[in-house]
Amino acid sequence: MDSTYHRFEELFDQLGLPSDTCSIKFFIAQNSPLNNCLRLEDAPCWTSSQATFLKENIQLDSNWAGVVDQLNLAMHVEEFVQLLGSVQIRGDSSVNATACVSAISAITLAHRMAP
């Protein structure tokens, strides 16, 4: 696996979606939480090419797999969706990106530690 780390902004660019912080938050909030039985790539919000990109990059464990996995978590975990909705939009997108990454990390850790 390539060790290149991609951010949500880059993933959304790659998917052909608006990639500013507000647009990413809106997209996740509007399309989440996904049913736990629904795979990320099977969600109705994707075009067929977007779904293929997501599926292939997870299967191939490509350099996109990490951020696709984070998106999968963000769209399945209701606590993240609620937290995302409570994060205030600021002019400094790096603050928002840091808050989102911190939220994902905290929720991921909590779910890994859950019985």
Q: Tens digits of per-residue pLDDT, 35-62? A: 878 899 999 999 999 999 999 998 888 8
* 8 Å CB contact between 68 and 57: yes
- If one counts the domains in the chain, the total is 1
**Tokens read off for 71:** 């998106």
Within a domain: residue 1? Answer: no
pLDDT at res. 94 = 46
Within a domain: residue 53? Answer: yes
| Burial status of residue 5 (CB atoms within 10 A of its CB: 0-12, 13-18, 19 or more) | exposed
| Sequence-separated (6 or more) residues with CB below 8 Å from residue 105 | none
Within a domain: residue 3? Answer: no
Within a domain: residue 2? Answer: no
Write down how long the chain is: 115
Within a domain: residue 62? Answer: yes
Does position 82 have pLDDT exceeding 80, yes or no? no
Question: 34 lies in which domain range?
Answer: 8-113
pLDDT at res. 54 = 95
Within a domain: residue 56? Answer: yes
CATH number for 82:
1.10.10.1130
What is the reported pTM? 0.67
More confident residue, 109 or 68: 68
pLDDT at res. 95 = 47
Mean pLDDT throughout 20-27?
90
pLDDT at res. 53 = 96
